[in-house]
Chains A and B, each alone.
Chain A
C-alpha cells in the first residue's frame, strides 16, 4: 500500500499535542471541583496545622500551573501519582482495572456489532418489510433503555429466577483461582494457562454484563448501518448495478462495503466512550473496573486516579482512531493516495 506510512506518520505527529491538550483540560476541570483531599484524608477532627502540613506534602500549596508541571514531570518518569484511597500507585491500580473494563467493553461491543450490523443491513434492504419495522422499533427502544436498568432486569431473570448465571459479584468466582496475568483479560489468560475451570467461571460472569452492553449499544450501530446502507442503495452506482442486472445480494454487499466507513466510525466512537460509559454496568456487577475507579476518584477529590484514567482512555481512543484510519485506508482507494 503506497502512501500508508506517510499517512500514518502525519497522524502520529498529532498524538502528543492531543494528549497534552486532553491532560491540560482534565487537570484544570478536576481541580475546579470543590473539595480538599487533605481535609478528606485526615477526617473531620484534624487540626488546621495538620491539614496545612499535609497540603504541603501533597504539593497542594503550589499554584495550579506549577502543580500541573510537577504532574507532567512525574508522568515523564512513569509516575502517575498515588491514590490516597487505595494508597497504591495509580499506574498499578489501573493496570489491574483497565483490562477488566476493556474485556467487558470489547466483548459487549462485539455482541453489539454482531446484532447491529446484520439487522441494519437486513432492514435497509427490506425497507418496507417487517424486518425493517422490527429494526426501527429496536433502534428506538435500545436508545431509550438505560443500561443499568436492563442489567437489573437481566439479573432478575437469569440469576434470581432461572439461576443459570453466577451472582453479579465481580469477574470470577471467589473459589476459583484467577489465571496468571498476561493480557489482563481473564478469558484470554485462562485459555493461555489452559485452565478450563477459570475460563468457565470468567465467561459465565461476563454473560450478563456483555449482554447488557451488547443489546444497548447494538441500537446506534443498527441505526447507522441501516441509514448508511439505505443511502448507498439509493446511490447512482447501486442503481447502475441493478440496471446492469447484478443480483440483489451482490448489490447489497457492495452497498455495505461503501457504508463501512460510517459504521466503523460509530463503532470506534462507542468503543472510546464505553470505557467510562459502562461505569453503571460495572457498578451493578461489582466489576471493579477502571470506570468505577475513576468515579470514586471524582467523588473523593482523589485527582490522580481520575487523571490516570483520562490519560489511559485517551491513549486507547487515539489508538482506536489510528486503527480506524488504517481501515479507512484499506477500504477506500480514494483516501490518502
Chain B
C-alpha cells in the first residue's frame, strides 16, 4: 500500500500550484506517528501521511475529534504529544529536511521558521509574564534583537493583530485577557519572526462566531503579507469553505480526500466528506442517508480494510478486503475510496 499511495500522490500532490519554480514550502512524505501502548500493539495516530503545501497557500485540514490532527501538527515540529514518536517519514521545510537536524537546530527553527498557533491560549501563555514580554522574547531569542528593539517590535505586532490600546496591553498578564485577545497574542507570538510556515491547530475553536471571523480574516492577511504558508487545522468544515485555498479531510490518521476549495465543496467524492457536509444540512433525510451513527470511529477494522468501512453507507466487500490508495480522480482532486461518489 505504501508504494502505490506514495507514487500516486507524489506525482501531482502539488495541486494547481505544482508549476512553482522553487521547492514547496512544506513537503511531508510518509509521516507516521505512533503511541506505544501499555499492552499490545502501538496506536498509530498518523499513518503514512503525505502533504505538499506551496508558498502563499492556506491549506485547510478538517477532521473530527481523534482523527490525529494535533498529533500531526506537533509532529511537523518534531514534537509529537508524549509518549508519541515519529516512526517514519520525511518533513521538508522549503527544501530542508527537518528529520536530519539535531535538537538545537530544531529548537532554533521552531517559532522562527516554523511556528504553531495553539488552541486554548489562556492556558498556554506563561501566567507570570506580561504578554508584551512573551512576544518580545520571541524576537530576542530568535532574531537576537536588543531588548528595546524587541519591545518595539512586540508593540507593532500587537497593533498588527488589532489589540485595542496596545501600549497598555503590553503590560497585561494572560489572566487579564479575554479568550479572543489571548488568541490574538498567540497569533502575534507565532507570526512576529515572520516564519516560513505556520501550523494552526484548532486556533479559533473556543471563540464566538463574530470574533472567529475577525481573527480568521486577520490571520489570512498576516500570513499572506509575510509570504508564508499555513496549514489550518480545524474540526469545523464550514470555516475552510471561506478561508482555505485547498482542503483535505482526515480520518483516523489518513487523508481521505484532498482538493482545491471549489472542487472540494461543489464536487465531493468521498462518502466521509459528503457525510461531513450533510451533517450541516437541514435536510433530515440527507443527514440520515450519509451517516451510520451506531458505528464508532476506528472500531477494529481488519488490517487490510478501508479505515472508514464501519461507518460508510456505501461499503462493499472490496472495502473490507483492500485498503484503498489516495487516487487522483480529477486534476488535483484526490480521494481514498474504491467507489467514489459521482460528482
Interface, chain A (partner B; CB < 8 A): 236-237, 239-248, 250, 254, 257-258, 331-334
Indicate which residue in B107, B123, B173, B189 contacts A333 across the interface (CB closer than 8 Å).
B173
- C-alpha gap A115/B250 in the complex (Å): 51
Looking at B29-37, B45-53, B108-116, the stretch in contact with chain A turns out to be B108-116
Q: Which residues of A contact B142 (CB under 8 A)?
A: 245
Q: Report yes or no: B110 in contact with A334, Cβ–Cβ below 8 A.
A: no
Q: Report yes or no: B127 in contact with A243, Cβ–Cβ below 8 A.
A: no
Q: Which residues of A contact B108 (CB under 8 A)?
A: 245
Closest chain A residue, CB of each to CB of B106: A245
Q: Report yes or no: B110 in contact with A243, Cβ–Cβ below 8 A.
A: yes
Q: Report yes or no: B189 in contact with A244, Cβ–Cβ below 8 A.
A: yes
Q: Report yes or no: A334 in contact with B175, Cβ–Cβ below 8 A.
A: yes
Q: Which residues of A contact B141 (CB under 8 A)?
A: 245-247, 250
Interface, chain B (partner A; CB < 8 A): 74, 77, 79, 107-112, 115-116, 118, 120, 123-129, 137-138, 141-142, 173, 175, 189-190
Residue pairs across A and B with CB atoms within 8 Å: the count is 64
Q: Report yes or no: A246 in contact with B137, Cβ–Cβ below 8 A.
A: yes
Q: Report yes or no: B79 in contact with A243, Cβ–Cβ below 8 A.
A: yes
Among B111, B123, B125, B190: residue with most chain A CB under 10 A: B111
Q: Which residues of B contact A333 (CB under 8 A)?
A: 127-128, 173, 175
Q: Which residues of A contact B115 (CB under 8 A)?
A: 244-245
Closest chain A residue, CB of each to CB of B123: A236
Indicate which residue in A236, A243, A254 contacts B111 across the interface (CB closer than 8 Å).
A243
Q: Report yes or no: B126 in contact with A258, Cβ–Cβ below 8 A.
A: yes
**Shortest CB–CB separation between residue A60 and chain B, in angstroms?**
56
Closest chain B residue, CB of each to CB of A250: B141
Q: Which residues of A contact B109 (CB under 8 A)?
A: 245
User: Would A240 and B107 be within 8 Å (CB), given that A245-B112, A245-B142, A334-B173 are in contact?
Assistant: no
**Shortest CB–CB separation between residue A15 and chain B, in angstroms?**
28
Indicate which residue in B110, B118, B127 contacts A332 across the interface (CB closer than 8 Å).
B127
Q: Which residues of A contact B137 (CB under 8 A)?
A: 246, 250
Q: Which residues of B contact A245 (CB under 8 A)?
A: 107-112, 115, 141-142
Closest chain A residue, CB of each to CB of B137: A246
Closest chain B residue, CB of each to CB of A243: B116
Q: Which residues of B contact A331 (CB under 8 A)?
A: 128
